[in-house]
Amino acid sequence: MSRGEGSAAQETRRSAAPLIVRVIAGAENTLLFAALAAMTLVPLAEIVLRSLFRTGISGATSVVQHLTLVVAMIGGAVAAREDRLLALSTAAALLPGTARAAAHIFAHACAAAASAFFCVAGVEFVLSEREAGKLLAYGLPVWVVQAAMPAGFAVIALRMILHGAATWRGRWITLATAGALTGVALRPPLEPAAMVPPALVALLVATVLGTPVFTTLGGAALILFWGAGLPIASLPIDHYRLVTNPTLPAIPLFTLAGYFLAEGGASRRLVRVFEALFGRMRGGPAIVTALVCAFFTSFTGASGVTILALGGLLLPILLSARYSERDALGLLTASGSLGLLFPPCLPLILYAVIARIGIEEVFLAGILPGALMVTLTAWWAVRRGPPLPPKESFRGSEAWAALWDAKWELLLPVVALGALFGGFATAVEAAALTALYAFAIETFVYRDLRLRKDALRVTTECGLLVGGVLLILGVALGFTNYLVDAEVPARAVEWVTGAIQSRWGFLLLLNVFLLVVGCLMDIFSALVVVVPLILPLGEAFGIEPVHLGIIFLANLQVGYLTPPVGMNLFLASYRFHKPLTTVYRAVLPLLLVQVIGVLLITYVAPFTTALPRWFGGD
């Protein structure tokens, strides 16, 4: 099913839903639109006021941070509404009918139970904040905005039950199962510490059966805290602290810019540009594919969006250029994640937040490694292209016409990075400027988007993605903090430094470990869970945090392609209607090529460190 067909099916389901459901959905979409609009306009007002009047909006930074919390929770609720919360496994689909229905109920019941506990913990957190009496801005109590957390988790719990089955009988069974799980936690038959292993096994089973990722990580945190006799009220504190990080609003804003591009006609214009410039070279269409995919992923932050949005446009181009179906399928699957190392991609920002280093430094560090991965992928594709170049020669008039037509979109990186590195905007302000610019050119210049019809739809899609991601990150931080409190990173440093003396040996082991992580975990979960564990190891072996971050992200980028469960493999199978085994065979050569790129990034540090040192003046 194509992306457009999927949207049409969703619209059909919505139109058939009861009136109250449609009213609630419309209210959620409108609130999400308003929150994202405010997140965009407040930083822009700050730029104008600071530049013209040397003043600003009182509490603007805190307001934008808390709007991120609102977007995260409403977006998570919308993702639950559409049954599109990210899961690690789809194994339940392989089961026969009755077993599949039972697996679906159990997975959703686990998600509902975990959400209910987070809701209760969130209520405790909000009540304590209410007693503190802190104000956000203009007399608004902070606890009013913080109440979005328990409210959001309550809605998610309800929707997990509703999606547990297609019939009301099945939904009542889902509710009863969630209630039973909750009852066991409240009145355990054994000491909680003794219940931890079977509870974790049950959570693992639910994960294999398709429970959302936030349930896996948040549920693990809940179980470990429960077994250790620790209050779960600290978990929403971790969630709140991460989501309201000062740099984090850049994530939904840059992602919003990417969605405006993806939903407008940017893909068509950019393909025309790169085809005009490279299409008449040997392997030109493959170069076009690598460049266009890298451009889109760098702004959307999601390789899945790139594959789903551009696959139908690029596959016929590759086939018409006489690429075999296998090579075309492999190239599109591998190119989906190429932009993850280019600014302003979402994982770069997240790594900067978690590692507590400058976002500008991480942006600069990713440029050369990203270019290396694109070059290696395009090199392989050129070699696999037809042996003879096309008869048509380069046409300057067509290239100029294509460049002129796409000039406003080609300027987007200049706007984003110019604002950031030009010194007149913070990362969040640069993201807001980029989002407004993308919205303006797609709506008012190219008119591919209609203000009334498309603005709400695009912001809802963006909020859904951002909400799903931040939901994972927020609950995962509690799990990570438990590991830190249990001194897992310190013990890992002690063991690794005792077993491995060579820095190069450690880097090789790190690459193997991260490739495994990349094919088993989504990149957002891995960022929160794994990065705090490997940062002390990198420090012990003298590896700069920014270099370690690019190694991490490059491995996770390749992990998207690693069988058996790399995410891009499933997306390509879904988008192009091909069996997974066919996708595995198609992508294997490119997997090996990109592994070579990862090794070069790992062992040739200047690829990563040269630009930050040059621009940083070190």
Q: Quick one: pLDDT band at residue 17, thresholds 50, 70, 90?
A: low
Whether the pLDDT of residue 5 is over 50: the answer is no
- Cα 91 to the center of its chain, rounded Å: 22
Q: Quick one: pLDDT band at residue 118, thresholds 50, 70, 90?
A: very high
Q: Quick one: pLDDT band at residue 79, thresholds 50, 70, 90?
A: very high
Q: Quick one: pLDDT band at residue 445, thresholds 50, 70, 90?
A: very high
pLDDT for residue 601: 95
At 331, list the tokens.
């190239």
DSSP 61-86: HHHHHHHHHHHHHHHHHHHHHTT---
* Across 60-74, 179-193, 212-226, 554-568, least confident range: 554-568
pLDDT for residue 65: 93
Cα 291 from Cα 335, distance rounded (Å): 8
Q: Which of 261, 330, 292 is nearest to 576 (CA)?
A: 330
Cα 183 from Cα 527, distance rounded (Å): 33
- Mean pLDDT over 179-194 rounds to 89
Condensed to tens digits (0 to 9), the pLDDT of residues 132-143 reads 888 888 889 999
Q: Which of 465, 159, 151, 160 is nearest to 306 (CA)?
A: 465
pLDDT for residue 2: 38
Q: Quick one: pLDDT band at residue 595, thresholds 50, 70, 90?
A: very high
In this prediction the pTM is: 0.83
DSSP 8-class letter at 140 = E
400 class by beta-carbon count within 10 Å (0-12 exposed, 13-18 middle, 19+ buried): exposed
pLDDT for residue 554: 93
Distance of CA 2 to CAs 9, 28, 307, 491, Å? Answer: 10, 26, 11, 48
Cα 605 from Cα 545, distance rounded (Å): 12
Would you call 315 helix, strand, or coil by DSSP? helix
**Residue 141 phi, psi dihedral angles, 5° rounding:** -65, 140
% of the chain beyond a pLDDT of 70: 93
- Is residue 410 within 8 A of residue 233, CB to CB? The reply is no
Condensed to tens digits (0 to 9), the pLDDT of residues 516-548 reads 887 777 777 788 888 888 899 898 899 999 999
Return the domain boundaries, the chain: 58-243, 250-453, 466-616
* Across 270-274, 434-438, 506-510, least confident range: 270-274
pLDDT for residue 466: 87
Whether the pLDDT of residue 262 is over 90: the answer is no
% of the chain beyond a pLDDT of 90: 38
If you average pLDDT over every residue of the chain, what do you get? Answer: 86
